[in-house]
Chains A and B, each alone.
Chain A
Amino acid sequence: MNYSQFFSMIPEVSLLAIFVAILIFDLVATGRYRRMFHAMVCLLIIPHVYVCMEFGGKEQTLFGGMYYTNSMIALMKAMLTFGSALVILQAHRWLRSTHTYYKQGEFYILLLSTLVGMYFMLSARHFLLFYIGMELASLPLACLVAFDKYRHHSAEAGIKYVLTSMFASAAMLYGISFLYGTTGTLYFDDMIAGITGSPMQIFAMVMFFSGLGFKISLVPFHLWTADSYQGAPTVVTAYLSVISKGAAVFTLFTILTKVFAPMTAQWQLMLYILIVASITIANLFAIKQTNLKRFMAFSSISQAGYIMLAVIGGTAQGMSSMVYYILVYIVANLAVFGIIETIEHAKEGEIVRDDCNGLYKTNPRLSLLMTLALFSLAGIPPFAGFFSKFFVFMSAFDAGFIVLVFIALINTVISLYYYLLIVKAMYITPNDNPIPHVKCDLFARISLGACLLGIILLGICSFVYIGIDKLTF
């Protein structure tokens, strides 16, 4: 056993270093240093995106095959870190509020520990490591969801999240145990030899999948999503909706193609059912939602269904379009949540759709960004979402799922409807008392600006996709 292997995991180790730095700073810093806390965290985390890309990209296998990394995984890590950085940037105002100010450090630490968990999920080539990573990614999130200690909704969301999460992980472990029982190994690379597609393994696979489906929030494993999203602090919701989802999707892709390759027909059928259910049911829910965060929860379920379209083929093209989709989804969704966070602060309460009425009059820039972000989510050109959706459809079509693509396309029309409802509220519906003009702080501005750039440029500037495509497989 060579302990230097630990230091080969540069992204994880450097993130842990940041983690420790924050912990120490939290302990020692007082007074005016504390005011710089947020800036410091941002300054630490943003360069880390670069670190992930630059130093994590070397293909290597560690710990006897438990840990694996390559440039694609490094890119994923970088993307997740980038997303986390955006979330942290947006969190500034919330962290300054009375009840959270004193536990600012906890927020960073919890958030970063989930990020570490996700790193391990991405790099895991062994179910144990994967399980540990996944729990590390979920548990602190439960704390984050319940972060607003004095708000009942936050606590309710937290308990729902944690209970469902435990239930899901129990189900998943149950599945893994049978996989272990039938194949005798927990290494991804070895397990494939023992996969035969027997009913027991199908059972095991679906149980295992339900655990990941919970994280990705696919129908019918999605029911916690809306409640937790609504109850959690908006920043946490944003994080839940993109980052933890992105990591889970990527891992799922790896496991399905690496481990369950002999059962392709089975899991494709499974995904088929789940995609149709996710997209359709989430859309039906979303139509009726007026609470904006809840609405975004259903939107994210439906988006998850679209991401799965890239997974279902299991092809290289699917991989690149999936990663690309996640990237685009991160910027678009975070833009929406950033705006919700901002106007929530102005309204001091939960945002329902009617609160957006006439928003354009008072907050033209925010509304415009919101519109672009929603258009991007709906897949309207020339914004990035159009490209990502198109590529996802292409990959599914390429894999032969023509009818599925058609169903998904019909659903995009429904999704466009509910996204447009918000646009309509902002621009068209008259309102005598719109939310007054909100001034964003610097951090939020940076974050929203980055999102805006991403929404506009990620699609048109094809080098992003080309770059991702080069890294695939």
Chain B
Amino acid sequence: MNILNLFVLIPLVMLFALWLCRNIKQIRTVMVAGSTLLLALSVYLTIDFIALRSAGVTAPQLYCNSWSWFPSLNICYSIGVDGISVAMLLLSSIIVFTGTFASWNIKPQTKEFFLWYVLLSLGVYGFFITTDMFAMFMFYETALIPMYLLIGVWGSGKKEYSAMKLTLMLMGGSAFLLMGILGIYYGSGATTMNIHEIAQLNNIPTDIQYIFFPLTFIGFGVLGALFPFHTWSPDGHASAPTSVSMLHAGVLMKLGGYGCFRIAMYLLPQAANDLAWIFIILTTISVVYGALSAISQTDLKYINAYSSVSHCGLVLFAILMMTQTSCTGAILQMLSHGLMTALFFALIGMIYGRTHTRDIRQMQGLMKIMPFLAVGYVIAGLANLGLPGFSGFIAEMTIFVGAFMVDDTFHRAVTIIACTSIVITAVYILRVVGKILYGEPTNEEHKKLSDATWDERFTVICLVICVAGLGIAPMWVSDLINSGVGDIITNLRP
């Protein structure tokens, strides 16, 4: 029995158990038990992985296993993890765990909500553990579609429009992606769907790579909020319920970056080297443009969504720089952004749940009314703008140092442009903090509001600890990621 299978099995069991649940207590029990189990599992996996690595196991993938699935099409259910996937699994577990608490009081149709929620997380886990392109793609799409209902039913605002837009744009992206996957499969001689085997074959002709690299990259890039395919993100995040925003920004958007790295870059190295400049320009635009757009937003979630565009742009940016350091930074940034944004969205959700508005012009002085949430918000904001001691700083610094290692004017110039985002980030974060938290509370209605409840506190504290933990002690994550990144980089830069 491969331990990785549990990541798919536990959600399946949870789905089944949820289906049988009769009341909210049982649902919560199932959710808490399941997500705790998953969290424990991923922590165990992380520790075990590090132990194996330090014991000198150098295979690129550990816990590998493969079962033939559709033999005539060379489709297997192959699983295996390297440092990157382990880190991503840990991130997913944390977000799923905290997301459960963040949606503690979700209404109505609690059971259905969690059913779709678990299905979503099933897709996410599956995506990270598999190494077969077909299986990855399957899990990828499995993770996307529950978003529609999660936003459409439990969302707020113009939820139907947003949900539809999000789903269609992401599915449009996966249409590109499917092209890319088929192109890779047939380009490499149609002998295997396993990404590592394809990478070893390394026989895709260059002209084919030129066609399918952009398709694959855009395909994943849509989910990674690549400019100009990012517009689903603000609307989608604004309408989504709290835990869905958390999961979406925290984990789902990472699928994009992970996929770009794992499939587009890894398997199509030649094209990646030759065409990277196009996407570097796009991602640089993403980074700066997202941040600048965030400045003049008035809806809290929009601000954060644009901030996500900027930060996820940085992930793709770093990946495209193709140095060991920048790619490590990209993974760190995924982790860090996942945790920070989850924290942010959790807090926004909690604030919105009380004030029933997300318009920053209508809120003031929340620090006095709900100090816990406000302090949490300040911490999240500081983490977001890259304060040392929080995860954002190490990720950004690793990226910038890594990006600067590419020694030519173009890369230098875009790196410096991307660097400016740290200032712009500070502007919009402090603008919000100043507007809504500080000052004297003016709205009489708001003065009666209460501070966080225990489940909310728990969510916030968990995430803050994770963000700070990663920021203060980055070495182990960095070590964890490094080997995984190294393999891919070797393939990219022979």
Residue numbers of A with Cβ under 8 A of B are: 317, 320, 375, 380-382, 386, 390-391, 393-394, 397-398, 402, 405-406, 409-410, 412-413, 416-417, 420, 423-424, 427-429, 462, 465-466, 469
Contact = CB atoms under 8 A, between A and B. Distances in A.
B164 A420 contact: yes
Contacts of B145: 375, 380
Contacts of A391: 70, 73
A320 B72 contact: yes
A381 B182 contact: no
Contacts of A462: 69-70, 75
A428 B179 contact: no
B270 interface: no
A397 to B, nearest CB: 4
Contacts of A406: 175, 179
A390 B178 contact: yes
The 8 closest A-B pairs by CB, nearest first: A409-B175, A381-B138, A397-B182, A428-B152, A469-B72, A381-B142, A413-B172, A380-B145
Interface in B146-160: 148-149, 152-153, 159-160
23 contacts: A380-B142, A380-B145, A381-B138, A381-B139, A381-B142, A390-B137, A390-B178, A393-B178, A394-B73, A394-B182, A397-B182, A398-B186, A412-B171, A412-B175, A413-B172, A416-B168, A420-B148, A420-B167, A423-B149, A428-B152, A428-B160, A462-B70, A465-B70
B134 A390 contact: yes
B71 interface: yes
Secondary structure call for the B interface: helix
A193 to B, nearest CB: 32
A96 to B, nearest CB: 32
B455 interface: no
Given A381-B139, A462-B70, 10 more contacts: A320-B72, A375-B145, A391-B73, A394-B185, A409-B175, A412-B175, A413-B168, A413-B172, A416-B167, A428-B152
A279 to B, nearest CB: 13
B153 A428 contact: yes
A79 B167 CA distance: 33
B149 A381 contact: no
B215 to A, nearest CB: 8
A427 B137 CA distance: 27
A427 B141 contact: no
Which of B75, B141, B145, B190 has the most chain A CB atoms closer than 10 A to its own CB? Answer: B145
A386 B179 contact: no
Contacts, number: 79
Contact of B72 (A397, A416, A466): A466
A406 B186 CA distance: 15
Contacts of B167: 416, 420
Q: Kindly state the interface size class of chain B when it binds its partner.
A: 20 to 34
Contacts of B164: 417, 420, 424
A427 B172 contact: no
Which of A317, A380, A410 has the most chain B CB atoms closer than 10 A to its own CB? Answer: A380
Contacts of A412: 171, 175
A391 B176 CA distance: 16
Given A382-B138, A394-B73, A427-B149, A410 B182 contact: no
Contacts of B179: 402, 405-406, 409
A391 B69 CA distance: 13
Contact of B141 (A317, A380, A428, A466): A380
Nearest to A428: B152
Nearest to A398: B186
A317 B70 CA distance: 12
Contacts of A420: 148, 164, 167
B112 to A, nearest CB: 8
A397 B139 CA distance: 22
Contact of A382 (B69, B142, B163): B142
A29 to B, nearest CB: 42
Interface in B74-94: 75
B175 A413 contact: yes
A397 B181 CA distance: 11
A413 B222 CA distance: 14
A473 to B, nearest CB: 12
A57 to B, nearest CB: 20
